[in-house]
Structure 1
Amino acid sequence: MGINKLFFKYVSLNVLGMVGISLYILADTFFIAQALGSNGIASLNLSIPAYGVINGIGLMLGLGGASRYSILSAQKKTKTAQKVYAQSLIFGVIIGGVFLVFGLFGSGLIARSLGANNETLASTSIYLQTILFFSPFFILNNTLQSFVRNDGDPSLAMSGMMIGSFLNIVLDYIFIFPLDMGMFGAALATCIAPISSIAVLSIHFKRATNQLKFVFQKLNWIVLKDICYLGATGFINEIASAVVLFLFNTIIFSLEGNLGLAAYGIVANISFVVLSLFTGVAQGAQPLLSDSYGKRDLSKIKHVLTLSIITALVISATVYLTTLLFKSGIIAAFNSDQSTQVAEMAATGLIVYFIGFFFAGINTISTTYFSATDQPRLALFFSLLRGGVLIIPIVLLFSYLWGMNGVWMSYVAAEAIVVLWIVIKMNPRKRIRQAK
């Protein structure tokens, strides 16, 4: 299969799967908005940082482990590649168990630390406790997704994501409305999704093409350090989103209270969907980049990288144009209280904040490229730059100068600065020369 067809096969399947995952976050937002109003959206928004940490660990183990697995497999180091696979899964289950304990005994404390007040504490605590209790499945699912995709089965990886997402949307409606389970129902529906996805992914291990062999073993900290270091961009990107969300929540609450949080909840949850599309492109390109790097194929690396960036820019333009044309309808779908103040703030946020997608898409592709070609230092540096080093001082300054408009503009400014820096540092030809 030609490189173009292979690229669009991997990317389209992965983007489709990520759309499915994003839809169940939007389903949560929509159903909670209808059933619980602005306070429900605010509670969901306050819970997202914790979900981001869990998701980030799964992505770190998946991206780092699968990138190393693909590079080693391309170099015919099969035994070492299998060790990377086993270590990723074992460590993921252990970390998931730690989060489970936190969920059982510390959800209220975590909710308060994330900014929940008397109006949102109960529902935020319930959502957090449920998500944390099921965290081993979230982490294991994200990790397996990457390995199955890198083992030549992107169609099954997509099917797992889509089936889990569809089931979540159906259960969201059933749990929240007919069964009247409220916030717990929304969280439980979300948590069943990764379990069903894992069940679908397990089909891969019965296929003749399967090269993934699990052997139980003691934790090897050298291997784990390499996995985590190489995949740190996935973790940092999620943590960055959580940090930004927490910081924005705090600043917006001080500026506009719970109505401001509700407006940001609309912008943030739609943003989550768009960013997941960029992640889908990046994760779809990653196996091809890692394989090409393992084989020292410079032309293929450059071609895949170019296709990835063009695809991200097309997505950005499509999303922004659609938002401009249909922003009123988008806002109305999530503004069940029909608050004029929420609608006005969200409308400005969609127009200004979404400009940042043109830069964020390139940055997401680039950090994944650095990880896929065994450049963890650059991947980690730019992820940290996006996640806090730039945006924290910028949002503090901009919000002080321009209020809510400054909050929206800070995201655009931070992503634009990172793009300029990445352009200076990215040099695939130099990377191949260094690796020889």
Structure 2
Amino acid sequence: MDVKAYRKQFARFASLSVLGTLGVSCYILADTFFVAKGLGTNGLAALNIAIPVYNFIHGCGLMFGMGGATKFSICKSGGAKKQTNEIFTNTVYLGILFGVLFALVGAFFSRPLAQFLGADPAILSMTDTYLKWLLLFAPAFIMNDILLCFVRNDNNPLLATNAMLVGSFSNIILDYVFIFPMKMGIFGAIFATGLSPIISMLIMSLHWIKKENGFGLVRSRVNWGIIKTDFSLGFPSLIGQLASGIAMIIFNMLILNLEGNVGVAAYGVTANISLVVVGVYTGIAQGVQPLISDAYGSGDRKAIHLGLRYAMTTMAVLSILIYLVLYVFADPITGIFNSENDPKLQQISVIGMKIYFTSVLAVGFNTIIAVYFTSIEKALPAHILSLLRGLVLIAPIAFLLSALWDMTGIWLTYPVTEGVVAVLGYVVYRKTRISPNHIVSASDQDS
């Protein structure tokens, strides 16, 4: 294997993927900025109450996209063209089904959902509006995630990145136009965000102009084996998003009791910046995934470990830089979103940001190691670690630490949870790593 060429390939895939995932993350960050400027603290609080639902939608899109695209890469390396088309088609079936289910919830249950998530009378109307249209646009969000993963894994990461960046830039422009000149309020924010994945998919339609593209829709009955694979290999990607969403729901409820809507708005600044930070790690993981899956499919053990090492090294360097920037500039960053110059919001957010983002190294490790396990079809350890960080540990730790140290305890919950899971993840990796004498073969994959 040519190590230098492999390094260049990793750099290309990872850098383009990070740019792209940052673009998707900026969908909500742009809403946060313009809502804060146009609608103040209550608008920011309403947005933060609604955002966990976006994590659920985006998580489903990534689950189907990453699950299907991982299997697609493995099959593609073996030349199974018919099977790759069937994988894509069945993944689209899943995307349509879940997109419609989310849209139905938005059409009929957005207000009760807003109340369940903690919206009080002061912000209920804005939260309801944002949730309703977020859920109605769910089919677009999910299908965009699926197409991005498949296009990237079909050796076209540049087009996937361009699609995400154009979609994100469109969102920023439309946010401004709808909220300020057109005075559409919070509906304008979500309408701009909902149009962004549609624009992104239009850009990606150029992929089918290529004669050598590796996937397309075919007539196919539902293949339960492919459906199961999509869920199994993509589940950690879902849980990675759910971890953020569930944390936001729990934190919002606890913070409402401690600091009210101002506290929720302050947390919203940190939580939405966290979406961007997690987007960096998701980009690295998605960038290295096709390389590891291809190496696994062809039996190149050295390339598998080299890809993981490059991903982890890149993540560690970026984590240090990210934390230094957020620590040093916590005050001016918060000020960007504090349009009413609320001193309480400023104080809570600055302190929280410095504590909350001590988690960055552990979050990056957990994101990448989960995708590594699924890339080599070891779904079980990825499932266990993902469930621990997303569902099992975070709630009890949040209630315990908030009872002990109030807001400081809430800010510490995320670093403690991710740190515990990172330690466990490293132990599991050491116990399950492919041995130096084990070369993956087709028979291994089929067994």
Question: TM-score when scaled to structure 2?
Answer: 0.95
2:37 to 30, 34, 38: 34
CA contact (8 A) 1:91 1:219 kept: no
Residue in 2 that maps onto 1:164: 167
Residue in 2 that maps onto 1:284: 287
Check if 1:429 corresponds to 2:415.
no
Q: Which amino acid aligns with 1:257?
A: G
Q: Superposed, which structure 2 residues align to 1:98-247 within 5 Å?
A: 98-247=101-250
Residue in 1 that maps onto 2:73: 70
Residue in 2 that maps onto 1:351: 354
2:62 to 59, 63, 77: 59
Deviates more, 1:205-214 or 1:366-375: 205-214
Deviates more, 1:174-183 or 1:249-258: 249-258
Check if 1:24 corresponds to 2:22.
no
Deviates more, 1:240-249 or 1:4-13: 240-249
Q: Which amino acid aligns with 1:27?
A: A
> For 1:270-291, what per-residue CA distance to the aligned partner results, in whole angstroms no more than 9, with x for missing partners?
1111011100000011100110
- Tell me how far apart the structure 1 counterparts of residues 392 and 107 of structure 2 sit (CA, whole Å): 33
Q: Which amino acid aligns with 1:308?
A: A
Check if 1:88 corresponds to 2:110.
no
Q: Which amino acid aligns with 2:62?
A: L
State the identity %: 41
> For 1:363-385, what per-residue CA distance to the aligned partner results, in whole angstroms no more than 9, with x for missing partners?
10000101111011111111111
- Tell me how far apart the structure 2 counterparts of residues 94 and 422 of structure 1 sit (CA, whole Å): 33
Cα RMSD after superposing both structures: 1.3
> For 1:252-304, what per-residue CA distance to the aligned partner results, in whole angstroms no more than 9, with x for missing partners?
11111111101100110111110111000000111001101111211111111
Question: TM-score when scaled to structure 1?
Answer: 0.98
CA contact (8 A) 1:156 1:201 kept: yes
- Tell me how far apart the structure 2 counterparts of residues 423 and 226 of structure 1 sit (CA, whole Å): 25
2:319 to 316, 326, 339: 316
> For 1:42-95, what per-residue CA distance to the aligned partner results, in whole angstroms no more than 9, with x for missing partners?
111111111111111110010000001111111232222221111001221121
Q: Secondary structure at the match of 2:329?
A: helix
Check if 1:397 corresponds to 2:400.
yes
2:336 to 321, 333, 337: 333
Which structure 2 residue ranges, 5 or more long, are not aligned? Answer: none
CA-CA distance at 1:433 after TM superposition? 5.7
Check if 1:381 corresponds to 2:357.
no
Check if 1:371 corresponds to 2:368.
no
Check if 1:410 corresponds to 2:419.
no
Deviates more, 1:21-30 or 1:345-354: 21-30
Residue in 2 that maps onto 1:44: 47
- Tell me how far apart the structure 1 counterparts of residues 424 and 439 of structure 2 sit (CA, whole Å): 22
Q: Which amino acid aligns with 2:79?
A: K
Q: Secondary structure at the match of 1:106?
A: helix
- Tell me how far apart the structure 1 counterparts of residues 121 and 219 of structure 2 sit (CA, whole Å): 46
CA-CA distance at 1:434 after TM superposition? 7.5
CA-CA distance at 1:313 after TM superposition? 1.2
CA contact (8 A) 2:81 2:215 kept: no
CA contact (8 A) 2:300 2:439 kept: no
CA-CA distance at 1:424 after TM superposition? 1.0
